[in-house]
Amino acid sequence: MSPFELAEPRSLKAALKILDANDPSVRVFGGGTALMLMMKAGVFQPTRLISLRGIEKRYAKVTSGQDGSLHIGALITLSALGRTAMVKKRAPVIVDALRTLSNVRVRNVATLGGHLAHADPHMDLPPVLIALGAQVVTAATTGSRTLAVADLLTGYFETALAPNELISEIIVPSQTGWRSAYIKLTTRAADDWPTLGIAVSLQTDGKVIQDARFVVSAATEKPLRLPSVETALRGATISDAVLARVGEAAVAEAELTGDAHGSAAYKTELLRVYAGRAVRKALAA
Ligand SMILES: Cc1cc2nc3c(=O)[nH]c(=O)nc-3n(C[C@H](O)[C@H](O)[C@H](O)COP(=O)(O)OP(=O)(O)OC[C@H]3O[C@@H](n4cnc5c(N)ncnc54)[C@H](O)[C@@H]3O)c2cc1C
């Protein structure tokens, strides 16, 4: 590894000041779990790394909005996120997804902000957060903005973040009336990278589905909502026939790509079978 400068600012404002919009080799890190792998592999050689670990503690906490939303600081570790009672109660699908997200050593240091900013299409939480309708709040010296997680992720390891813009908070709206599930399919250990991820959120009275968000990941350039599946679910009462239609609609719409975790044909067959199972899992949540 080449030598680099390490900065450890004590506030978000100070971190923003030492970012350099014109120099991509200056980069922040949260847990460093993704960044260090890139550095060790030689694909990223920083001149300056800015640790966010020393900034204000409120960026590592979860608070409640008056409307029942969750406001999650971007510096929270994935382990702390999974242990937070408010998250367990209001968005249990996040805690469920975290159980098989990598291993405890990674979860103990990896941060939610780093997880989202890295934009690896195999990540487990982005599809879940998109299904929940979550947003990110960003910070820059010029001000802050709020955008949907779905709009943050623009492509393969690509985000809508400007070079001098950070994620400071993630907002999960109130889930009252919604039920959600995530299915992670792996070909090796249960906590391996997913071959396919399916996240579903349903607004339902328990019988008829009023609204739906259906997201597929790990087989596309970025997590993808499937509008045709959502249309097939809206107004439906669940039956085997409806779920079979959901599977067919999913594979007709999604163009999946293969990788080291499975071929495109294998992933397509998984989607056909598990789309309906994910809907059933959400209804039972
Ligand atoms: C062995 C191993 C197994 C794994 N298995 C899985 C798995 O099964 N499922 C899964 O989902 N993930 C898995 N991961 C990936 C893991 O989830 C990510 O490495 C982790 O979430 C990244 O978070 P971090 O805080 O360490 O990011 P960092 O490495 O600190 O940063 C990653 C990127 O985000 C940027 N960044 C960091 N914080 C911010 C911020 N607040 N605002 C803007 N940009 C920021 C950095 O500049 C960098 O570009 C695995 C990782 C490892 C090492």
178-283 CATH choice from 1.10.10.10, 1.10.260.40, 3.30.390.50, 2.60.120.650 = 3.30.390.50
Q: Give 205's contacts (C-beta < 8 A, 6+ positions apart).
A: none
In the chain, the percentage of residues whose pLDDT exceeds 90 is 93
Predicted pLDDT at 3: 83
Q: What is the mean pLDDT of residues 172-186?
A: 97
For ligand 1, atom 9, which residue shows the shortest CA distance?
101
Q: What is the pLDDT of residues 16-37, one digit of tens each?
A: 999 988 888 899 999 999 999 9
Predicted pLDDT at 205: 87
Gap from CA of 190 to ligand 1 centroid (Å): 19
Predicted pLDDT at 123: 97
Gap from CA of 118 to ligand 1 centroid (Å): 6
CB half-sphere exposure, 223, CA atoms < 13 A: 29
Predicted pLDDT at 178: 97
Q: What dotted CATH number matches 57-172?
A: 3.30.465.10
Q: Where are the domains of the chain?
A: 5-51, 57-172, 178-283
Predicted pLDDT at 110: 98
Q: Is the pLDDT of residue 247 over 90?
A: yes
Atom number of ligand 1 nearest to Cα 186: 8
Predicted pLDDT at 209: 96
Q: What is the pLDDT of residues 98-119, one digit of tens each?
A: 999 999 999 999 999 999 999 9
For ligand 1, atom 37, which residue shows the shortest CA distance?
114
- Confidence category of residue 52, pLDDT binned at 50, 70, 90: very high
Q: What is the mean pLDDT of residues 41-57?
A: 93
Q: Is the pLDDT of residue 2 over 80?
A: no
Predicted pLDDT at 1: 66
Atom number of ligand 1 nearest to Cα 103: 3
Window from 19-28, 209-218, 223-232 with minimum mean pLDDT: 19-28
Q: What dotted CATH number matches 5-51?
A: 3.30.43
> How many Å apart are CA 198 and CA 276, to the nearest integer?
10
Window from 8-12, 38-42, 65-69 with minimum mean pLDDT: 38-42
Q: Which residues line ligand 1 (CB under 6 A)?
A: 27-35, 37, 52, 74, 101-102, 106, 110-111, 113-115, 117-118, 123-124, 161, 166-167, 191, 193
Gap from CA of 107 to ligand 1 centroid (Å): 9
- Confidence category of residue 76, pLDDT binned at 50, 70, 90: very high
SS (H, E, C) the chain: CCCCEEECCCCHHHHHHCCCCCCCCEEEECCCHHHHHHHHCCCCCCCEEEECCCCCHHHHCEEECCCCCEEEECCCEHHHHHHCHHHHHHCHHHHHHHHCCCCHHHHHHCEHHHHHHHCCCCCCHHHHHHHCCCEEEEEECCEEEEEEHHHHEEECCEECCCCCCEEEEEEECCCCCEEEEEEEECCCCCCCCCCEEEEEEEEECCCEEEEEEEEEECCCCCCEECHHHHHHHCCCECCHHHHHHHHHHHHHHCCCCCECCECHHHHHHHHHHHHHHHHHHHHCC
Instruction: Using DSSP bridges, classify how beta strands 62-64 and 196-204 pair: parallel, antiparallel or unpaired.
Output: unpaired
The mean predicted confidence, pLDDT, of the chain is 96
Q: Give the pTM.
A: 0.97
Gap from CA of 115 to ligand 1 centroid (Å): 4
Q: What is the pLDDT of residues 192-208, one digit of tens each?
A: 999 999 999 999 987 89
> How many Å apart are CA 122 and CA 124, to the nearest integer?
6
Q: What is the pLDDT of residues 121-148, one digit of tens each?
A: 999 999 999 999 999 999 999 999 999 9
